[in-house]
């Protein structure tokens, strides 16, 4: 693994501003300071009983057979029952589960828990009729429409594990995931709305399904209503197969605590994405507990909005499973923040009286660039808590968010976690923690996080190193689907007995954690994980590319941006057209999110005598040299510099 030297971790300028919780907030908060004193086992035992309704109670809290944990052993439950039916049974069927807002103007739909129960039953009955049963793997490829959580819940009702693939991924990425999980059915929609135009999801599915012999059928939800090709016998319009909406006609399947709930694919340091496995009980308890304490959720009065996409782990845990399990009223928005104008988000906050907003630093920086006047056009006084996730938040963005969105009255929770952790792991508790812009502060109660040196010693206050987790937690991944060796190698080989997260971090004198970004070959673009190797493979897949190396540079808006260094076959020269062609090739292979921001064409890549690409040199060049934008070619001195510095390093080796 290419581990960066830690000096950048050590030289961080610590932010000195502090924000104690407002006393009125602290007084009413779900989490009080004593929560940190609770015994780890007693804490998760209580939460296991209070957050979730069991068909059969569990008999053992957890088993820790490193590196695999099991939680709530012996218990049986059903996720859709917990997220929907039990709220209706408790008399809350009239409470809104989702205020859904479509991207086209005026396109709105409120779904109560009662509506949701019927919709989930109807969808589950449709799937059942097509042959989906307990254990059948289902892929879901949709935009942000209510049928997305409905389809997920329908799967959980039947005990069918799902994998949701983000709508921005390509046909190739889709088929790889479908095949890896062995999916037999795919749920999609005709097209999705995005910034006033349509994304042809069904068409991409058709392409993907040419490579997936195991898929027996698809269900297609109508969204835009435009015509899309349907394959007779394989593709079904949802309207045609929708079943009875009587929940009693489709009882929730009792699932063992440790049965597979879903896979979420994420990038690692090789080209093949990892299927991160999450199981039923521990995951549900973990996300419901964290959602309740960290967002201080009052389900009777709050209107909660997580502005992520359900296609990522943030959406799974904090748009679908956590909030619904807690009986929350959420907002779900289909489109982009600047459609039709840059105040769209703030009009949504005003319309629904959003009280809790959870988003990513990249979005905050984008709003910051557009200017506070868009937020000022709207009444944001309903907001009482703000959250951030996905990448380190720079203090400037934190302060802007606090000031211009939160009106200086809302605590900001900067939450660190990963696809693998399933739930938030390091975070302030809004009524307890004194926050510092840029710091995710403290491990969540029951979470044992620490910073280790390269040698595996714990680093004390003031030191920097690698973030590790020393104790299992309920929503912990249960491995990489079908690849035990990779699971052990990725997370456990570095230190042996603790989980290695892949992030650099620092802990200050108060014991607050400051996350410093990835230390491996994983990039973070707009809060999305992208593997350098995956992008390199996509580039080399192009018929004219001989070799490619990818590095990230810092970017004011997206956190990191992708820079590719490419050598063309036969010494071919780069051109602006070639540059665009390669960017599009990456979009076709992986998805538009993985398009390099810059491509440097170079006759050769700097290599060590033993033939290894000098990645550190490339990273340094990507970071410090003007590379031109995507439509111009790089300054020729960059290529010259690659050659001279490569040669210098080689001679230093001799």
- Residues contributing to the site for ligand PRX (CB under 6 A): 266, 313-314, 389-392, 414-419, 440, 501-503, 515, 517-518, 524, 529
Task: Name the minimum Å distance from CB 360 to ligand PRX.
Answer: 8
Task: Name the minimum Å distance from CB 174 to ligand PRX.
Answer: 18
Eight-state DSSP code of residue 169: S
DSSP, residue by residue, 441-460: BSBPTT--EEEE-TTSPBP-
User: Of 80 and 419, which has the nearer Cβ to ligand PRX?
Assistant: 419
* Three-class secondary structure of residue 25 per DSSP: helix
R_g of the chain computed on alpha carbons: 24
User: Of 322 and 517, which has the nearer Cβ to ligand PRX?
Assistant: 517
Task: Name the minimum Å distance from CB 535 to ligand PRX.
Answer: 16
DSSP, residue by residue, 22-78: PHHHHHH-SS-GGGGGS-HHHHHHHHHHHH---SB--SEEEEEETTEEEEEET-EE-
User: Of 269 and 418, which has the nearer Cβ to ligand PRX?
Assistant: 418
C-alpha to C-alpha distances, 223 to 219, 245, 620, nearest whole angstrom: 13, 20, 46
User: Of 123 and 466, which has the nearer Cβ to ligand PRX?
Assistant: 466
User: Of 401 and 417, which has the nearer Cβ to ligand PRX?
Assistant: 417
Task: Name the minimum Å distance from CB 61 to ligand PRX.
Answer: 25
User: Of 243 and 273, which has the nearer Cβ to ligand PRX?
Assistant: 273
User: Of 113 and 513, which has the nearer Cβ to ligand PRX?
Assistant: 513
**CA nearest to 266, candidates 454, 3, 62, 518:** 518
Task: Name the minimum Å distance from CB 518 to ligand PRX.
Answer: 5
Task: Name the minimum Å distance from CB 500 to ligand PRX.
Answer: 11
Strands 192-194 and 197-199: antiparallel
DSSP, residue by residue, 269-319: SSSSPEEEEEEHHHHHHHHHHHHHHHTT--TTT-EEEE-S-TTSHHHIIII
User: Of 334 and 520, which has the nearer Cβ to ligand PRX?
Assistant: 520
Task: Name the minimum Å distance from CB 511 to ligand PRX.
Answer: 17
Task: Name the minimum Å distance from CB 12 to ligand PRX.
Answer: 13
- Cα distance between the two ends of the chain: 24
Cα separation, 262 vs 358, in Å, equals 23
User: Of 314 and 567, which has the nearer Cβ to ligand PRX?
Assistant: 314
Q: Which residues contact 57 (CB under 8 A, 6 or more apart)?
A: 74, 75
Distance from chain centroid for Cα 156: 20
Positive or negative, the CA dihedral 457, 462, 467, 472 is: positive
Let me know: does 370 contact 345? Beta carbons within 8 Å.
no
Task: Name the minimum Å distance from CB 470 to ligand PRX.
Answer: 17
Strands 255-256 and 76-77: antiparallel
User: Of 333 and 417, which has the nearer Cβ to ligand PRX?
Assistant: 417
Task: Name the minimum Å distance from CB 417 to ligand PRX.
Answer: 5
User: Of 327 and 392, which has the nearer Cβ to ligand PRX?
Assistant: 392
Task: Name the minimum Å distance from CB 466 to ligand PRX.
Answer: 11
Eight-state DSSP code of residue 428: -
* Three-class secondary structure of residue 536 per DSSP: helix
Let me know: does 164 contact 187? Beta carbons within 8 Å.
no
β-sheet bridge partners, residue 236: 219
**CA nearest to 45, candidates 74, 77, 82, 72:** 72
Cα separation, 282 vs 288, in Å, equals 10
**CA nearest to 225, candidates 115, 114, 107:** 107
């Amino acid at each position: 693994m290419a581990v960066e030297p830690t000096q950048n971790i050590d030289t961080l300028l610590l932010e000195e501003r502090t924000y104690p919780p407002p006393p009125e907030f602290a007084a009413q908060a779900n989490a009080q300071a004593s929560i940190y004193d609770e015994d780890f086992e007693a804490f998760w035992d209580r939460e296991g009983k209070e957050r979730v309704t069991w068909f059969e109670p569990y008999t053992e809290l957890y088993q820790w057979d490193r590196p695999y944990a099991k939680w709530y052993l012996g218990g049986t439950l059903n996720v859709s029952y917990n997220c929907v039916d039990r709220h209706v049974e408790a008399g809350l069927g009239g409470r809104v589960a989702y205020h859904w807002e479509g991207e086209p103007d005026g396109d709105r739909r409120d779904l109560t828990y009662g509506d949701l129960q019927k919709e989930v039953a109807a969808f589950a009955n449709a799937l059942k009729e097509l042959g989906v049963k307990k254990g059948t793997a289902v892929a879901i490829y949709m935009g942000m429409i209510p049928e997305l959580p409905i389809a997920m819940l329908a799967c959980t009702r039947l005990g069918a594990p799902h994998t949701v693939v983000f709508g921005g991924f390509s046909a190739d990425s889709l088929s790889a995931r479908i095949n890896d999980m062995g999916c037999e059915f795919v749920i999609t929609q005709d097209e999705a709305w995005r910034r006033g135009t349509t994304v042809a999801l069904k068409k991409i599915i058709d392409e993907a399904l040419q490579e997936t012999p195991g898929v027996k059928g698809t269900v297609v939800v109508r969204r835009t209503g435009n015509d899309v090709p349907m394959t007779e016998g394989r593709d079904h319009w949802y309207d045609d197969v929708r079943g009875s909406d009587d929940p009693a006609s489709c009882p929730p399947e009792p699932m063992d605590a440790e049965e597979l709930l879903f896979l979420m694919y994420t990038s690692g340091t090789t080209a093949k994405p990892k299927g991160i496995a999450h199981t039923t009980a521990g995951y549900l308890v973990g996300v419901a507990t964290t959602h309740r304490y960290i967002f201080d959720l009052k389900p009777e009065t709050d209107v909660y909005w997580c502005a992520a996409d359900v296609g990522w782990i943030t959406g799974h845990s904090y748009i679908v499973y956590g909030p619904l399990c807690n009986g929350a009223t959420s907002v779900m928005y289909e489109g982009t923040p600047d459609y039709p104008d840059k105040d769209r988000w703030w009009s949504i906050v005003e319309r629904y009286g959003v009280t809790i907003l959870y988003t990513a630093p990249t979005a905050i920086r984008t709003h910051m660039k557009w200017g506070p006047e868009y937020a000022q056009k709207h009444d944001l006084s309903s907001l009482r808590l703000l959250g951030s996730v996905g990448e380190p938040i720079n203090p400037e963005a934190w302060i802007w968010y606090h000031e211009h969105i939160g009106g200086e009255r809302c605590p900001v929770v900067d939450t660190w976690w990963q696809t693998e952790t399933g739930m938030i792991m390091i975070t302030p508790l809004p009524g307890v923690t004194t926050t510092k812009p840029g710091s995710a502060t403290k491990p969540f109660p029951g979470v044992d996080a620490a910073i280790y040196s390269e040698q595996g010693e714990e680093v004390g206050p003031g030191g920097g190193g690698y973030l590790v987790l020393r104790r299992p937690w309920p929503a912990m991944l249960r491995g990489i689907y079908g690849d035990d060796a990779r699971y052990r190698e990725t997370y456990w080989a570095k230190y042996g007995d603790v989980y290695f997260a892949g992030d650099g971090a620092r802990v200050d004198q108060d014991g607050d954690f400051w996350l410093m970004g990835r230390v491996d070959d994983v990039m973070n673009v707009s809060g999305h994980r992208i593997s350098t190797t995956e992008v390199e493979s996509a580039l080399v897949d192009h018929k004219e590319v001989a070799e490619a190396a990818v590095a990230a540079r810092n970017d004011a808006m997206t956190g990191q941006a992708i820079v590719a260094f490419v050598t063309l076959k036969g010494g071919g020269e780069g051109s602006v057209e070639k540059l665009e062609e390669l960017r599009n090739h990456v979009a076709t292979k992986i998805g538009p999110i993985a398009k390099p921001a810059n491509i440097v064409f170079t006759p050769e890549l700097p290599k060590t005598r033993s033939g290894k690409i000098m990645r550190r040199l490339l990273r340094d060049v990507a970071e410090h040299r003007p590379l031109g934008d995507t439509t111009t070619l790089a300054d020729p001195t960059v290529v010259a510099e690659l050659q001279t510095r490569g040669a210098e390093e080689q001679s230093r080796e001799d």
